[in-house]
Amino acid sequence: MEIKNVRVNEIHWSIGWNASQEANKRLKDKIGETSKYFAQLKVGNATYNWMVDTVGKWRPMGMAPDSDKAVIMEKAEEIRQEVFDKLPGEDSLATKICQVPNYEEYIFYKDNGDDTLDVIITGWGFHNFKKAGPFIETWPPRPIKHTTTIAFVIDGVRQPQRSFSIVTPKMQKPDVTDEQGIRSYKEYAGLNITIIDDATQRQFNFTTEDKDTELEFDVTTKASVTVHATIDGEPLDSETVGIDYDGQHYDVQLTNGEAILPDLSYKSGISCKATLRDEERSEPLSGNTTTIITFDFKTPPVIEEPVVEEEPVVEEEPEKEPVIATITVLDAQDQPMKNAQFRLQQGEKLLEGQLDEQGAAQFMMETFTIDQPLQATITTEDQRQIEPIEFTLEEGELEYVLQENAPKSGGSIIGFLVFLLILAALAALVIFALKPGTEELTKIINKNFF
């Protein structure tokens, strides 16, 4: 299929091959598969013609919109680079192959309808008859895609996971903002884009710029509240109405029976509460409308209340804080009986529990009577039950150490210390009795103590 023809006197062949169909074969031998981007040259009686094998509507680049021209130029630059890569050390030949009389008339494109373009080059190897046209590598600077970042805001706060549609001249597709409430696109300048917010169906139009851009679209829906208040049918005046909505509190003054709160940020499913004279009213709000909340008070009748004599107030004594005492149980080797079961009993008063890893447990002193004997029964982890231990709770004494086979000292070590002192005294007397001249004293000691 022919896509381009020109009279032979309008352009001039630049490559040192014959300008004929044979040039197509030589081009393929030189650059291989890259030759598919160059239309087949066919020489007529007085014209040069360029043919393509593919179907579709091919148009010269000059007919493309600016946004497509940027894409076409980018693809042409990629083709030019491939040619130079296929001809290392032959830059002069590569330059002549990529030379065209002008790019707007000789570079063709085809819109595939799926947001993609195909590009093919005619006029390759030619320049204008009188003046060489621009080479591909001397085109204006290659355009750069810039980032456009969009966000939807409600009350100035970006909305994450906000669904919307993006519409360009070639496509429309759904999209969604990320966890930070933004969505970014890389596009060439001059692309017209429409953003449609799913929740509100609001449309926002903009054109991409030749720079990175951030755009925020305000999707805040407004609502308003009006409070009407009367007493006995007459409007209330100069009183304050408290209004609570979406975690915010507002105080609004009544004027001639009316208090107005405009420009609230509407949130679906959240009710508005108004408070006046200790009475409350709640109403759900609707977006872009005014919600009316009504108070209608009646003057209560005057009722004389009977005089009631006040009864004398009897002050109750404050409860005493419980006093916590601790028992620690040691075995015959002075080691704590950890995790043993214990049973404290004083008459009908009973407390059972388990010792901790240090052989200790706490209890409230009020459970038992002070200065009365108390019996502790201990069962070890291996189910050995030791002989019951008696001790006595003493006022102000909060620590009690109980020991297997220890003297019954009422929980105190004072009796044990007295016993040690008696033994020491007896030992001193025995030593004294063994000295010469003390036989009589020895007899007395033996008589009284042994």
Q: What is the DSSP string of 164-232?
A: EEEEETTEEEEEE--TTSEEEEEE-TT-EEEEEETTT--EEEEE--SS-EEEEEE-PPEEEEEEEEEET
Q: Would you say 402 and 411 are in contact if contact means Cβ atoms under 8 Å apart?
A: yes
Confirm whether 429 is domain-assigned.
Answer: yes
Using DSSP bridges, classify how beta strands 146-154 and 157-158 pair: parallel, antiparallel or unpaired.
antiparallel
Which CATH number belongs to the domain containing residue 380 in this structure? 2.60.40.180
367 and 421 share one domain? no
Of 43, 51, 39, residue with least CA distance to 19 = 43
401 and 422 share one domain? no
**How far apart are the C-alpha atoms of 395 and 414, rounded to whole Å?**
15
207 and 155 share one domain? yes
How many distinct structural domains can be found in the chain?
A: 5
Of 36, 45, 41, residue with least CA distance to 18 = 41
Which CATH number belongs to the domain containing residue 276 in this structure? 2.60.40.10
Which structure tokens are listed for 34?
A: 């890259």
pLDDT at 295: 94
Largest CA distance in the chain: 165
Sort residue 203 into left (φ over 0), alpha (ψ -120 to 50) or beta: beta
182 and 289 share one domain? no
**How far apart are the C-alpha atoms of 217 and 164, rounded to whole Å?**
12
Confirm whether 14 is domain-assigned.
Answer: yes
Of 308, 386, 309, 303, residue with least CA distance to 342 = 386
102 and 177 share one domain? no
**How far apart are the C-alpha atoms of 44 and 19, rounded to whole Å?**
11
DSSP, collapsed to helix, strand or coil, labels residue 391 as strand
Question: Does this model's pTM top 0.85?
Answer: no
287 and 275 share one domain? yes
Residues linked to residue 325 through DSSP beta bridges, in sequence order: 363
pLDDT at 301: 82
Confirm whether 43 is domain-assigned.
Answer: yes
Confirm whether 315 is domain-assigned.
Answer: no
Q: Which of 187, 218, 249 is the last residue of a domain?
A: 218
Residues linked to residue 167 through DSSP beta bridges, in sequence order: 172, 194
29 and 152 share one domain? no
With tokens 């969505």, the residue in question is 183
Confirm whether 378 is domain-assigned.
Answer: yes
235-241: long-range contacts, CB 8 A cutoff, minimum separation 24 = 236/276, 236/295, 236/297, 239/276, 239/277, 241/274, 241/275, 241/276
Which residues of the chain, if any, have pLDDT below 70? 129-143, 317, 406-419, 428-450
155 and 200 share one domain? yes
Residues linked to residue 60 through DSSP beta bridges, in sequence order: 108
Q: Which of 190, 218, 246 is the last residue of a domain?
A: 218
96 and 24 share one domain? yes
**How far apart are the C-alpha atoms of 226 and 259, rounded to whole Å?**
6
Using DSSP bridges, classify how beta strands 271-276 and 240-245 pair: parallel, antiparallel or unpaired.
antiparallel
How many C-beta atoms surround the C-beta of residue 134 within 10 A? Answer: 15
53 and 128 share one domain? yes
Q: In angstroms, what is the C-alpha Rg of the chain?
A: 52
Which CATH number belongs to the domain containing residue 211 in this structure? 2.60.40.1120
Give Cβ neighbours of residue 394 (< 8 Å, ≥ 6 apart): 370, 371, 410, 411, 412
Of 293, 287, 241, residue with least CA distance to 265 = 287
With tokens 């063709």, the residue in question is 108
429 and 357 share one domain? no
Q: Would you say 346 and 368 are in contact if contact means Cβ atoms under 8 Å apart?
A: yes
Confirm whether 125 is domain-assigned.
Answer: yes
Confirm whether 362 is domain-assigned.
Answer: yes
19 and 119 share one domain? yes
Confirm whether 84 is domain-assigned.
Answer: yes
Q: Which of 178, 193, 218 is the last residue of a domain?
A: 218
**Domain limits at 421?**
417-449
Of 198, 148, 151, 146, residue with least CA distance to 172 = 198
pLDDT at 433: 55
**How far apart are the C-alpha atoms of 220 and 155, rounded to whole Å?**
6
